[in-house]
Amino acid sequence: MKETIIGIDLGTTNSLAAMVFEDGPEAIGRVGENPIIPSVLSKTKEGWIVGKGALPYRLSAPDQTVYSIKRLMGLDFEELEEDRKDLPFEIVKAQRQLVKVRLGGQEYTPQELSAEILKKVKQEAEDILGFSVQKAVITVPAYFDDAQRQATRDAGKIAGLEVVRIINEPTAAAIAYGLDEKKEGYIAVYDLGGGTFDVSILKISGKIFKVVATCGNTHLGGDDFDYALGSTLKAAVQQKYPQADLNDSISQQTFKQIAESLKIELSSSLEADYHIEIPEKSIFFQGKLTVAEFESLIRNILDETLVSCQKALDDSHVTTQDIEEIVLVGGSTRIPCVRKCVEQFFKRTPHVAIDPYKVVAIGAAIQGHLLAGGRRDFLLLDVIPLSLGIETLGGTFSKIIMQNTTIPTEASELFTTHVDQQTSIDINIYQGERELVKDCRKLGQFKLRGIPPMKAGLPLAEVTLHVDANGILTVSALEKRSEQKAEIEIIPFHGLTQYEIDQIVEDSFEHALDDFNERQLIEFRNTVESVFKGIEQFWATAETILTPSQQESIRKQMSVVEKFSKGNDAQALKAQMDILGDLTRPLADASIGNAVLSELQKPSPSSSS
């Protein structure tokens, strides 16, 4: 291939670049860093600040900071009457009914401002790739008219980019999933971002995508979820502190930040604790929120999106039965409740395996790759990139589905309890290649409740991990004696670039010996605890069948084992445990035969945390 054509998602809230590498398409970003660039820019004495660095200026210099510039593209002054009321920066009328944004006494067209964002995206890509980028495919909403598309093309030109193609965002999302390889059919693209929502119905004929209908709301998105949740938190605090004024900017910002973090946590857990602290007002509040409570708060907002979905179907003259594929786009579609609502409405499981933040840029990158003469002979998501499993006793990572397993796949493993009379088990799900969970990535958690009280080691919890063809991970746990069951659904792959995956695997090799020793040490220490417990349980029997000398040898060796268990040499501890095993064998044989022998020396199922 002679040239590189990157894909750019020039978004209302965030922007992103992607490219097709040797291993396939991915977002362009530094290892360990979020590749997303906020579509925010602020004019200072030193010049433009674009992206993450401009975010604080939305509060400190709102009249000099521009966001949602995409809403101004290609529109005239009269068409922006509603938006002008909501935006803190000044919009003025220019020649030929065009608009400009006034910042610090100077006026800029929306194209010029969008160009600054594109320059930032271009510069970041070039710094990471190590070579100059000249050409790009840029995405736009399906409802953009010709003037708005031309404005986007002009912005690219000002930024120093040759825009080889403008494509619709839903089309790009469909391409990312390889749906352009289909012969014909209808596709629905549900796009729920931070501040906007739209749904598009696409018809494929050969390799031609036609947007037959689009519908949505340019003022509805994840921010509304935050507001609904923040209002609930505010009401709870107000009830405890009725005299407090909670309408100031500090309080509002506090509620918004906690609402955002709760929303994220409840996307992978069934409940979440929160703490609200406003020291200036002597407010210290804590509480708990469940997924069910969160879902009830946002249900009305989700119903609004489904009304738009129905309108798009009606405008297309098709029904849900005609829709063959559903693609989810936008960060807010990470929320499980959103996915469930879409699935129930369309009666079909949506595509979600690609990070919804990145899917549009990835589709644009694939289009650019094909336009540059590249071949489409790669698979996007055919294997599990990193092992999946759960946390077991002592913080060890028990892998259940191994790296590079082809999806769809399913695997199960038996675990047990470590504490007597334990009536619940915390299931913490992780992804990675290291031996300890502290070195892996946590995906989610849930609790298996209602286990009848039993001695440690007697409950049998079967944990099953299932990954479907869309990359959705479902984790379930069944206590086989009581038939109690619980489960959670997670998307395990979003947010990991191939660079990050390679780094994680490389780290696992580099630390393999140390990790193995540390894991063995934890497991041996757990075994020591179980063995000591067994010896104490049957010590009355030992006093009747063992000589005083034998009893003293066991006690002395128990002290030695305890000393070595506090050290860091796993093999030395194992050697001392073997000696103790030899000394206690007469007790096992003479006292209760194979039952005690099994208790003291037979490996048992791993203990869940």
Kindly state the greatest CA–CA separation across the chain: 106
Q: Which of 26, 116, 124, 191 is catalytic?
A: 191
549, HSE (Cβ side, Cα atoms, 13 Å): 0
Contact 7, 137 (CB under 8 A): yes
CA–CA gap between residue 186 and residue 325 (Å, rounded): 7
CA–CA gap between residue 8 and residue 115 (Å, rounded): 12
- Dihedral sign, Cα of residue 527, residue 529, residue 534, residue 540: positive
CA–CA gap between residue 465 and residue 487 (Å, rounded): 10
CA–CA gap between residue 554 and residue 560 (Å, rounded): 10
Q: Which of 26, 305, 367, 349 has the alpha carbon at shortest distance from 170?
A: 367
The total of other beta-carbon atoms located within 10 Å of residue 73's CB is 25
User: Which H or E element spans position 293?
Assistant: helix 291-316
Q: Which of 471, 463, 330, 453 has the alpha carbon at shortest distance from 398?
A: 463
CA–CA gap between residue 170 and residue 329 (Å, rounded): 8
**Annotation says 420 is catalytic:** no
Contact 417, 550 (CB under 8 A): no
Residue with tokens 């509304």: 224
Tokens of 373: 């003469």
**Annotation says 191 is catalytic:** yes
**Annotation says 582 is catalytic:** no
Tokens of 7: 């894909």
Separate counts of helices (H) and strands (E) for the chain: 16, 27
**Annotation says 245 is catalytic:** no
Contact 17, 29 (CB under 8 A): no
User: Who's near 310: CB < 8 A, 6+ residues apart?
Assistant: none
Q: Which of 116, 124, 169, 413 is catalytic?
A: 169
CA–CA gap between residue 5 and residue 25 (Å, rounded): 12
Tokens of 383: 């294997």
Catalytic (active-site) positions: 9, 70, 169, 191
